[in-house]
Chain A
């Protein structure tokens, strides 16, 4: 009897010994259940998961959903006592909701655990704008970089905006890729005259989230913001009106039916040669270069998001996080760390994903396979983490901006009047959510 206990103990010691030798060993045979969006980057990530299982012995099971559906599912999943998911990918604007409701693991304890944290991980190589935008919460204004912020997620499948244009069409008419907004708008309306039947720029514009996204894309470079530092809406100032007018010009000179476009319709119009420009997420580039779905493959040039009074391309996309109610948190962390490590990031990028690390963008092999990587790397320097606020009330304000913009685009509503309405309603929403409590107290 004693002997068996003795051998048992020895076996445990031995196991502990191997655990030190291979950090993955204690989790061998564990199945990590992940929830990923249906998105080109995550398709690329899924393609390399077999390598992870082979290297570590940890199995991965993936549940893929359309990204807005994924968010709905997560809000329900995260309230359960015992969750079904060990690792989730979250949309950037969910950060506020989940962290505020205390549903995500703070990553500090994992990076402090020497048995889990890979010493070669090199955090400083992660793209700063993405980390601040997607991973960190609790800094300035709660969602921006700040000394007291800490990480709840790691960017994975993050994106910024670039301008894709038809190199062949631009060359034919002696046009240069636009550097500024004035040039952009001028060319956008020149194209339909130079190339009958072709729209200037394909843009999202459908009522709701899409129209709002398209408007905000122009708001930041034109010098505007949704709120000032005291949460007072300033979306209706001069820059706001200019951004609304820019969007209207782009849609008016764009391909037919543009007011109903979501991102995939806009991208499809560009792929089918119905528009000469497309300014949206870098995630679409791989699709443009794929001859099986794109008629313009090989004819697309890429340039930085044009400048207004400042440079400011969007920051968005997804991050990885561990839910508080996950069953296999350590194994999930190991998978997250592996996917976002230098090697993992490069592997995913080579499959067509969006890099999350500076080193990946500098990789020669990647630049050879995807020549546009260099432009994208440069665009990241101007990625603006504050192009839209990431706060719990954003969902409602965002939808209101979107429906109002759609009215500007389709019903001829005056932009100033439209934005005044948005600002007024946004203030009510913010008031009710308690954003003016401190000012009101100070005023009394």
Chain B
């Protein structure tokens, strides 16, 4: 009897937290899933909306604008996270040493992350301005041809990628630096004694040891990159054409401009599923890696 009660105790203590989670997390998600089966305009209450089954999802399949923004989102996320990872980790490897003024440098580095996204968008928008912006003025002062930063589809896409890299590379940098500084010194000393060069040290010791942290970092950035909204909203509002209309922006426009809450909810669910798959894939990958490492260790012990 007493043993039973003891076994129950942890669950009892957990119960309030679970309850709060269920209400705060599951209820809104359930609401969104329910809404995605409705033809719901913001001037109706949810109870008055018409149930249309899977029609919203069916329409998504044939919606060229949605496909386009889905594709833009994928390209955007892959590109920014890829470049940010390389830059951020590279910077961390370079700056992982005792330098004077390192604390100041680090603070300066993470400043872009701390600026409100709307401000970042406005700032870049004015820097990209065709005539009075910093970039085009510098270019024309140097006698070079100016660039249609935000007024040409491909350039606009590149411009929002640049702005995102500027803002979020520091995030990867500080996490990678923290990971680097927590690596066991013994492993690196052993490698050095074995005669490993600097590159070999990075490639065979540091990066593999940092990998679990890097994967979580990349995952966090990826999730964020799929949902980025404000900076692009302010810089291009999705244009020219649909060249920078990422999914989050499409969803926001569908809800507010087209007044179709149900359709917007269906899009959000597709985005949610995509992110879930990505997350599971990433965790699956680390799991496989761990298992492999464990197998190798076991094999070594046997031998």
Q: How far is the CB of A81 from chain B (nearest CB, A)?
A: 10
Is B240 an interface position by the 8 A CB rule? yes
In the complex, residue of chain B having the shortest beta-carbon distance to the beta carbon of A412: B153
**A79-B44, A257-B130, A260-B130 given as contacts; is B152 within 8 A of A207 (CB)?**
no
Mark the stretch among A159-167, A332-340, A403-411 that contacts chain B.
A403-411
Whether B65 and A403, one on each chain, are in contact in the complex, defined by CB atoms closer than 8 angstroms, is: yes
Number of residues in B with C-beta < 8 Å to the partner? 31
Is A101 an interface position by the 8 A CB rule? yes
Whether B65 and A406, one on each chain, are in contact in the complex, defined by CB atoms closer than 8 angstroms, is: no
Whether A406 and B239, one on each chain, are in contact in the complex, defined by CB atoms closer than 8 angstroms, is: yes
Mark the stretch among A82-90, A301-309, A393-401 that contacts chain B.
A393-401
Whether B242 and A407, one on each chain, are in contact in the complex, defined by CB atoms closer than 8 angstroms, is: yes
Q: How far is the CB of A398 from chain B (nearest CB, A)?
A: 8
Classify chain A: how many residues form its interface, as a range.
35 or more
Is A380 an interface position by the 8 A CB rule? no
Is B100 an interface position by the 8 A CB rule? no
Whether A403 and B130, one on each chain, are in contact in the complex, defined by CB atoms closer than 8 angstroms, is: no
Q: How far is the CB of A409 from chain B (nearest CB, A)?
A: 7
Whether B259 and A101, one on each chain, are in contact in the complex, defined by CB atoms closer than 8 angstroms, is: no
Q: How far is the CB of A288 from chain B (nearest CB, A)?
A: 19
Is B170 an interface position by the 8 A CB rule? no
On chain A, the residues within 8 Å of B146 by CB distance are: 256
Whether B65 and A97, one on each chain, are in contact in the complex, defined by CB atoms closer than 8 angstroms, is: no
Distance in angstroms between the alpha carbons of A324 and B216 in the assembled complex: 52
Is A423 an interface position by the 8 A CB rule? no
Whether B43 and A207, one on each chain, are in contact in the complex, defined by CB atoms closer than 8 angstroms, is: no
Q: How far is the CB of B42 from chain A (nearest CB, A)?
A: 4
On chain A, the residues within 8 Å of B131 by CB distance are: 255-257, 274
Within 8 A of A (CB), among B249-290: 253, 256-260
On chain B, the residues within 8 Å of A413 by CB distance are: 241
Whether B240 and A399, one on each chain, are in contact in the complex, defined by CB atoms closer than 8 angstroms, is: no
CB within 8 A of B258: which of A256, A274, A399, A410?
A399
Is A258 an interface position by the 8 A CB rule? yes
Whether A207 and B44, one on each chain, are in contact in the complex, defined by CB atoms closer than 8 angstroms, is: no
Q: Which of B43, B152, B253, B260 has the most CB of A within 10 A?
A: B43
Distance in angstroms between the alpha carbons of A101 and B45 in the assembled complex: 11
Is B129 an interface position by the 8 A CB rule? yes
Q: How far is the CB of B73 from chain A (nearest CB, A)?
A: 16
Distance in angstroms between the alpha carbons of A46 and B13 in the assembled complex: 58
In the complex, residue of chain A having the shortest beta-carbon distance to the beta carbon of B242: A403
In the complex, residue of chain B having the shortest beta-carbon distance to the beta carbon of A405: B241
Whether A97 and B43, one on each chain, are in contact in the complex, defined by CB atoms closer than 8 angstroms, is: yes
Shortest beta-carbon contacts, A-B, top 10: A207-B239, A257-B130, A407-B241, A410-B240, A101-B43, A259-B151, A396-B258, A75-B42, A256-B130, A406-B241
Enumerate chain A interface residues (CB-CB to B < 8 A): 72, 75-76, 78-79, 97-98, 100-101, 103, 206-209, 211, 255-260, 274, 392, 395-396, 399-400, 403-404, 406-407, 409-411, 413, 425
Given contacts A395-B258, A407-B241, 18 further A-B contacts (CB under 8 A): A76-B42, A78-B43, A101-B44, A206-B239, A211-B239, A257-B148, A257-B151, A259-B151, A259-B240, A274-B131, A392-B41, A396-B260, A399-B258, A403-B65, A403-B238, A403-B245, A407-B153, A407-B240
Listed by A's residue number, 15 A-B pairs whose Cβ atoms lie within 8 Å are: A78-B43, A79-B43, A101-B41, A207-B238, A207-B240, A209-B257, A259-B240, A260-B130, A399-B258, A403-B242, A406-B239, A407-B153, A407-B240, A410-B151, A411-B241
